[in-house]
Structure 1
Amino acid sequence: MSIIFEEDGAESVDPSIIVPMYNTEKYICETLNSLVSSDFQNLEIIVVDDGSEDNSLQIAVNWFQQRKQAGKVLSHKNQGPSASRNEGIRLARGKYITFFDSDDICVAATYRKMLHVLDRNPIDFVIARGVSFDNNTQAVSGFPDSYVWDSILQGRTIHISTLMQEPRIARLESSSVLRIFKREFLISNQLTFPEKLFFEDAAFHAACMLRARRVALLGETLLFYRVGREGQTTGSFGKKRFNMLRILDIIREDVEQNDVPDSIGANLIGLLVRMVVWCSEFCAYDDRPTFILDAVKRLNAFPKMWIPLYASDYAYDDWERELCAAITSCDYGKLAKIAENVPEDKTDFNKNEDASLIGAILDNKKMHSIFKKANRRIKNITQSLKTRSGN
């Protein structure tokens, strides 16, 4: 590990944002610009380059030097995003720690609100919402957990709860980017990402959910998740999908070492079932039967009542219930057919949320005047949001 750039900035920083980076020279400036768009005074950004083969590293260093931004730019040989995140946790100075990907866009104003919730409540971490945007068209769509958010919040902006009181929190999408953690929570529980594996967020999510005392949900959008870009791991086909099987093993081993209430376990398994289906869609066609067979074996190795409980008490629709039934009965033929007919997400954006999000983006005059490329991208996304919300 080499430190390429270092700027200490203020004596104390909050939060520390850890950004693993690999071959994102076209996007890293947009990402970094969006992270600082609300002019945080004590923000620390730690960029960890994972052996990029393009100009990402030099572009990131130039950005830090021009802004004199507090933080670090590190470089190591390619090991995957988990190693980069773990190194960032080790070096972070902030009382609070979060993560961001090097090709996405952040609504930094939401960070302020998340920190406000963390400062004033006895919670371990706070979660915000995310949306996806197409890299080519800038079309915006909701995350697959939109219905979970809506069912929990019931129109509220903030909800603070234990997992026992609100087990559906465990069903939220596993992206670590959507959370800000108290550093003490991560360190005291020795929480890190499993290295040299993809879909590492799922294991980290499960570990955090099994150990959290109280969690806050902030019903505002933080993340624009970029989809459809060239070279994106989550949108590619191939053997990497089989990493999900090892992730299931890691989570099951963690579950076996903890006394997990069935309600929490049921919602966690509901998330994993959906992730397995998603991974199967992106397996090479010839590999799909083997992947489904191995995944079903692993899902059925969790406590037996979790999948039926999710189906009866928490499933979103008949498609999810049929999926759960096919897994528990090991009906591979039916499961393959169900998995090939994933229903289209018809979730509409909440107009109030859209208006708040648009306001947060457009309020950033300094970013718009300095960073023209990011400004064009954000304007396109904003216009897409306005069209969807009818404004």
Structure 2
Amino acid sequence: MNTMVSIVTPAYNSEKYIIETIQSVLNQTYQNWEWIIVDDGSTDNTVNIVKEFISKDSRIKLFQLKSNLGPALARNKGIEEAKGDFIAFLDSDDIWKPDKLEKQIAFMKTEKCDVCFSSYDLIDEKGRLVNKRVCVLSQVSYKKLLKSNYIGNLTGVYNARILGKIVVPDLRKRQDWLLWLEALKRSGKDAKGISESLAYYRVHKRGISSNKMALLKYNYLVYKKGLGFSVLKSLKYLVLFLYEHFFVKSKLVISTDNF
């Protein structure tokens, strides 16, 4: 239990969901954590809600950006302030299952892996299960991750003692993918997946995953701007992404009706 985990959460106008998110962290069976919430210029009641919880638990820390700078810069601020041996990520509308941290930290120590992630279930905007689970591969290499992001950010944990603090490029979307690519590049080892579902991902009707053109646009920017690929190489990997996403990765989304 001596290993400290830093949890990083960018928040922007999250008053509708953040209480559930906070409660899911407070309910963790693994209790040696600090939680860094970075408010990205919210105009609703998000900051007041977080402050109320801070008054009851000093492990929660709030940093406020002066304006809405985007999730990349907010996440970078959280990483910069992190003091833990491991760094985990949780968006302000997602939820962890109670034993999420305990199982992942134990797994990472046993398997001696630098990057770990797990399966997760999907919920709708009202928090209701939609009977779908995103399953994971047992391990993912840098080369495999380059074709599509197999690491759900709400389940990802990396060993900061070994890999250091990873700053993500300033992209409005998909910057988490670049973070995990950099983590695997630094590690030189595959990321390892836990097949058990350890979290709930909230699906929004207007989310990027539901907008195919936006998905292609931001994926291209990952290759071109984030990784510095040439136009031709970026287009090549965009084609590889399309195949991987629709013909390989899509098979990992399964129905939970029969569970």
Structure with more of its chain in strand, by fraction: 2
Q: Distance in 2 between matches of 1:200 and 1:238?
A: 17
Report the AA paired with residue 113 of structure 1. Answer: K
Q: What residue number does 2:63 align with?
A: 74
Closer, same or farther: CA 232–177 of 1 in aligned 2, 3 Å = same
Higher mean alpha-carbon deviation, 77-86 vs 33-42, is at 33-42
Report the equivalent of 2:132. Answer: 141
Structure 1 residue 346 displacement after superposition = 7.0
Counterpart of 1:378? none
Shift of 1:244: 3.4
For structure 1, the residue ranges without an aligned partner over 5 or more in a row are 1-11, 154-160, 257-293, 322-342, 350-387
* Runs of at least 4 residues off by over 4 Å: 167-172, 231-241, 343-346
Please give the alpha-carbon distance, in whole angstroms, between the structure 2 residues aligned to 1:240 and 1:205: 18
The letter for the 1-side match of 2:181 is A
> 1:18, 1:98 within 8 Å by CA — same for their partners in 2?
yes
Mapping of residues 311-322 of structure 1, within 5 Å: 320=247
In 1, are the aligned partners of 2:121 and 2:129 still within 8 Å (CA)?
no
Partner of 1:298: 234
Contact 2:100/2:199 (CA < 8 Å) preserved in 1? Answer: no
1:159-174 mapped onto 2 (5 Å cutoff)? 163=141, 168=144, 171=148, 173-174=150-151
Give the whole-Å Cα distance in 1 for the aligned partners of 2:121 and 2:214. Answer: 27
Distance 1:131 1:114, change over 3 A: same
Q: Secondary structure at the match of 1:253?
A: coil
In structure 1, C-alpha distance between the alignment counterparts of 2:144 and 2:46, rounded to whole Å: 38
Residue 75 and residue 297 in structure 1: after superposition, are their counterparts in 2 closer, same or farther (change >3 A)?
same
Residues 214-245 of structure 1, C-alpha deviations (whole Å, 9 max, x = no match): 3322111122111136x756557997973433
Q: Any idea what the Cα deviations from partners look like across 1:330-353, whole Å, max 9, x if unmatched?
A: xxxxxxxxxxxxx8987234xxxx
Alpha-carbon spacing, 1:240–1:113, altered in 2? closer, same or farther (3 Å): closer
Could you tell me how far apart the structure 2 residues matched to 1:223 and 1:57 are?
24
Query: Alpha carbons of 1:183 and 1:18: their partners in 2 closer, same or farther (altered >3 Å)?
Result: same
Q: Give 1:149-298 correspondences, 5 Å limit.
A: 149=136, 152-153=137-138, 163=141, 168=144, 171=148, 173-187=150-164, 191-214=166-189, 215-228=191-204, 242-253=217-228, 298=234
Identify which of structures 1 and 2 has the higher relative contact order when contacts are C-alpha pairs closer than 8 Å and 6+ apart. 2
Larger Rg: 1
Task: Give, in whole Å, the separation in 2 of the partners of 1:228 and 1:141.
Answer: 14
Three-state SS of the structure 1 residue aligned to 2:129 is coil
Cα distance change of structure 1 residues 116 and 15 upon mapping to structure 2, 3 Å threshold: same
TM-score by length of 1: 0.56
- AA aligned to 1:347 is I
Query: Within 1, Cα distance between the matches of 2:183 and 2:84?
Result: 19
Q: Is the 8 A contact 1:23 1:55 kept in 2?
A: yes
Contact kept? 2:5, 2:34, Cα under 8 Å: yes
Partner of 2:255: 348
Q: In 1, distance between residues paired with 2:214 and 2:252? A: 27
| Paired amino acid for 1:57 | V
Deviation at 1:53, TM superposition (A): 0.8
Equivalence for 1:60: 50
Report the identity percentage: 22
Q: Which has the higher helix share?
A: 1
Deviation, structure 1 residue 78: 1.0
How many residues align? The count is 254
For the 8 Å contact 1:16–1:44, the answer to whether it is kept is yes
Q: 1:137-156 CA deviation, whole Å, 9 max, x = no partner?
A: 5323122xx3xx3xx54xxx
Distance 2:145 2:171 in 1: 27
| DSSP-derived class of the 2:166 partner | coil
